[in-house]
Amino acid sequence: MFLPKVFYGWKIVAAGIGIATMASTFFVYGFSAFFIPWRNEFGWSRGLLGGVVGLSRLEGGLVAPISGYLVDKYGPRKIMYFGVGLMGIGFILLRWVQSLSALYLVFLLFLAMGSSFGTGRPLQVAVANWFIKKRGRAMGFLMSGYGLGGSIVFIFAMLIDNLGWKTATVIAGLCMWGIGFPLISILRHKPEQMGLLPDGAQVNKTNDTISKFEKKNMNFPKPPAHFWNKDSREELELNVWQALRTRAFWMLAIVYAIFSGVPGITTVHLAPFLAEELGLEYVVAVGALSLFVFTSVGGRILFGIVADYVNLQILVALLFCVLSFSIFLFSTISNLSQIPLYVCAFGLAYGGVIPLRAVIQGYFFGRKSFGTIGGLLQFVDLPATVAAPIWIGFLADSLPGGYRIGFKAIAFIIIFAAIAVLFARCPQEPLPNDKPPKFIAKFFK
């Protein structure tokens, strides 16, 4: 019996899911599992612990254009070896943290820096380069890895509860190296470098590489026709300078700057809110976080697939409306029986939004400078990314019902993101051809 040959892009997606799951379990959502043990042992306030996440995201936003540029230029593997290596060192160093300043130092120099070069942006670039027509489902599956990691974070919490947080950090560091490095070795930059085309399209040649001229004379994949509201055409390939001169770039920047406040709820404050305001036990509260993220996995996969068949802007706008309403409902929880329903509604909407950021960016600007453009969009997110977890933490410290007030405010603001995404317009030919100043021209080729 002969099995059909699997397109190599799906192998990259599978490796990316493994890396994303591990990074999410230990770092993205894993921080929430450390939150209460650190408060109990050291007495650190919620606002100061939220500041760790806020500053980590500040660093991530500052580094994002650099990591995106390096991945565009050199491919994901070299960059990710460096980043995952840093994360492994950072987790092991956490074992000896005894002060808040040391915690900030380890997070900023090793974990946040390593995450910027070892996970999110490089993985998205790797997958985006291998898919055009099926980019939505590919991104949905990739982003489900982060959801899978969050859904099993309760296992990590149990590990912390039984072995202590110091032992758990060492285990996390060793896993980053032992699992991460072999998975990174599977990644490749672009299909053309292997004599392939995106989406596994048929290649009528036997050489190992495909030139730009040859791509124009092949059956090169095109974006879905529905997205352009016209007959399908070739995907545009904008450089960074061209992207910066489009309305689409700045509208997407506004949209996701608003959305960037939401992870401050999920990764930092969801479990403490349930534990401290509703009286859930610590492990049960982290379990509710796991339920939220597990539900978001379904949203990531479902709406990633749907994105390949419907107009993206309308889909994203609808998801933001649902997300706003679900966050508002979540902020009104008054008894334990409401938790599963509201957490699931919140998780499904949140998960649906996650993969579509990379998908809509790819359809607007193409693969040419995907990493750098995505990094610049993340850079614009910085104010809300940094402020949201700190602001919600200080509200919780200073006001009765502070968590609820913060959640309601974010729910209201998200409505503006739903409106803004509808005003974005896909760049049209002829594209902006203005050249940047000479001293930065080499970055915009």
Which DSSP state fits 273? Answer: H
Provide the pLDDT for residue 438.
62
Better pLDDT: 121 or 402: 121
Q: Closest Cα partner for 171 from 266, 106, 252, 95? A: 95
DSSP SS3 for 132: coil
**Does 436 or 162 have the greater pLDDT score?**
162
DSSP string, 181-217: HHHHTT--S-GGGGT--GGG------SS---HHHHHT
Q: Is 200 in contact with 214 (CB distance < 8 Å)?
A: no
Question: pLDDT value at position 205?
Answer: 56
Residue from 410, 422, 431, 310 nearest 359 by CA = 310
Split at pLDDT 50, 70, 90, the class of 265 is low
Say what the pLDDT of residue 195 is: 87
Cβ(59)–Cβ(112) below 8 Å: yes
| Burial of residue 127 (number of CB atoms within 10 Å: 0-12, 13-18, 19+) | buried
Distance CA 423, CA 381 (A): 18
| Amino acid letter, 24 | S
Residue of 137 and 215 predicted with greater confidence: 137
pLDDT greater than 80 at residue 269: no
Are 60 and 115 spatial neighbours (Cβ–Cβ below 8 Å)? Answer: yes
Residue closest to 189 by CA, chosen among 82, 14, 64, 72:
72
Please, is 298 exposed, middle or buried when counting C-beta atoms within 10 Å of its C-beta (0-12, 13-18, 19+)?
Answer: middle
276 falls in which pLDDT band (50, 70, 90)?
Answer: confident
- What's the average model confidence in pLDDT over 194-214? 66
Residues in the chain: 445
* Cα 27 to Cα 32: distance, rounded to the nearest angstrom: 9
Residue in the block written with tokens 């399209």: 201
For residues 305 and 356, give the distance between their C-alpha atoms in angstroms, rounded to a whole number. Answer: 10
Q: How many Å apart are CA 85 and CA 89, to the nearest integer?
A: 6
φ, ψ for residue 2, nearest 5 deg: -105, 125
Q: What is the mean pLDDT of the chain?
A: 84
Element (H, E) at 392: helix 382-398
User: What confidence tens digit (pLDDT) does each residue in 80-119 have?
Assistant: 999 999 999 999 999 999 999 999 999 999 999 999 999 9
Across 239-258, average pLDDT: 90
DSSP string across 292-306: HHHHHHHHHHHHHHH
Scanning 75-152, the segments in alpha helix (DSSP H) are 76-94, 100-106, 113-118, 120-128, 135-151
> Residue 322: is its pLDDT beyond 50?
yes
Rounded to a whole number of angstroms, the distance between the first and last alpha carbons of the chain is 48
Percent of the chain with pLDDT over 90: 42
Does 213 have pLDDT greater than 50?
Answer: no
Report which of 223, 212, 41, 217 is spatially closest to residue 128, judged by C-alpha positions.
223
pLDDT band at 437 (very low <50, low <70, confident <90, very high): low
List the CATH code of the domain at 8-194+221-431: 1.20.1250.20
**pLDDT value for 19:** 96
pLDDT value of residue 214: 47
DSSP state, residue 331: H
**Rounded to whole angstroms, how far apart are CA atoms 283 and 271?**
9
The predicted structure's pLDDT at residue 221:
62
Decide if pLDDT at 366 tops 80.
yes
Domain map (residue ranges) of the chain: 8-194+221-431
pLDDT score at 233 = 57
Task: Tally Cβ neighbours within 10 Å of residue 225.
Answer: 11
Task: Give residue-wise pLDDT tens across range 326-364.
Answer: 888 888 887 778 888 888 888 888 899 999 999 999 989
Rounded mean pLDDT, 422-438: 72
- Among residues 26, 127, 109, 147, the alpha carbon closest in space to that of 71 is found at 127
What is the structure's pLDDT at 111?
94
**Residue 180 and residue 201 in contact, taking contact as beta carbons nearer than 8 Å:** no
Q: Give the pLDDT of residue 102.
A: 93
- pLDDT tens-place string over residues 31-77: 878 878 888 888 888 778 877 877 787 888 889 999 999 999 999 99
Model confidence over 2-29: pLDDT tens digits? 456 889 999 999 999 999 999 989 988 7
The encoded tokens of residue 418 equal: 């739903």
pLDDT value of position 115 = 93
